[in-house]
Structure 1
Amino acid sequence: MSAAETLPPRTHNNPPEPIEMIKPIVAGISAWLAEHPVIEDQVSASKAAALIDTVNKHLADLEDDRTERVRPLNAEVKAINASYKAASSPLNGLKDDLKSRATAYARAEEDRRRKEAEQARLAAEEAARKAREAELAEIEARDNAAQGEIGVDIGAAVLDADAAARDAARAERAANIAERGAHVRMKSGNARALSLRTVLVFEVTDPVAAMIDLPLTDAIRDAIISAARIYHKEHGKPPAGVTATEDRRV
């Protein structure tokens, strides 16, 4: 089979796979390339041009064949996707609304609980301060009595210190409970509990500074070139930082 021979028609029941279809074509062109590592004359150049045209035709035939085979599949996939999207769209809309309202509630509730926890912590700190003062008052009363001071009520000082210590302990427990309960969890039955979570939301505020820090990956390079092509069509020149050179090729 020559390099210019066309692809076999896919009219029989068991058509060959695409790779099998192009094997003889690839073999023919590869053989010619092996015999002509360098094009040195017009005859060889014309032959190369003919082979390029042949490859283009084979590529077009393959694409036509692929399109013919996948068209009904794509239509079926499109219909299936449309059917499920019609069903999922209202559910997703409702879910977004529910999540928005739940988020608003959780934020407000956590803010309220956080403020309560702060107040409880301040109350615990104040109770601890009073307990320390009562303890010092008890120590002072014992010292004064030991030095012979008349009228010192040690019992009252002890009772005051004990009461202040109990108040401080209760306030500390209340503050701890309030701080642990500041995180809102929304749960019903066996459903997964919902709660606020911290997520990173990225926003480009200075693209120049970002490009200075970011490595020039293939994805970034391709995105820049794609945007530069659009810019070039609109302005007749590439954007700053991008060069566009003419290259002559077949």
Structure 2
Amino acid sequence: MRLNRRQKTILTVILMGTLLLSVIISGWLLSEERIATNLEIRNSAPSLEHLFGTDWLGRDMLTRTVKGLTLSIGIGLLAATASAIIAITLGVISATMGKVVDSFISWLIDLFLSVPHLVTLILIAFVLGGGIKGVVIGVALTHWPSLTRVIRAEVMQLRAADYIQVSRVLGKSRWWITTKHIVPHLIPQFFVGLLLLFPHAILHEAAVTFLGFGLSAQQPAIGIILSESMRYLSTGMWWLAFFPGFALLVIVRAFDSLGENIRLLIDPHSAHE
């Protein structure tokens, strides 16, 4: 039986959601004993007992990778949520508070988009002293412009809707119209934007941590694992970087696919196909 586009989209959402949930739950359930120092099995190549091999301290790389992904997902989700909240707030304000405010926010969007995210993120994380706080704030303050522009355009279209014009004629305040009519309509865009922001957030978190401006070395983040593995690649321990890096790309692609397919389900132009 051939599946239509909507059925394929729903199936993809279920599969990607299951994959991400399984990684998160596994990160919580895996025992800390498997990442304890055990010099007797250090530098072991991938095997049935240790699928991703072990590192120079005898720690199981599969466990480290899954726990690192869980930590990175949590940080990326927190940062992406903060960024999406900034985006929806500025987008609504820009479209509803007059030309002066709209011009200023549009200028601010162009300013942030003109500078590479990673450069601004590194500067913010460095100023804030790194750590989870620095990374979360840095990602939140650098990833909102694109979503803000989408939200602004959506609100601009909503303002011309008949029911909003009727509310204005009936004397409803700008705040009432915004909270009762506009914001509820933007909730789907908020969640889709959040999911689409996440791949950028987790990749930039890993990049900043890899460069030494993010999380501390005591935390099992993917960026830390990749940074530490660079010193051992020349000795032939390829599995230290390959498996964590590949796992990070799979998770990022899964979130990207999840967000894109949810967008297709919500989009009225494609939802009926």
Smaller-chain TM-score bracket: under 0.3
Higher helix residue share: 2
If the length of structure 1 is used for normalisation, what is the TM-score? 0.23
Q: Is the radius of gyration larger for structure 1 or structure 2?
A: 1
Q: Which has the higher contact order (CA 8 A, sep 6+)?
A: 2
If the length of structure 2 is used for normalisation, what is the TM-score? 0.21
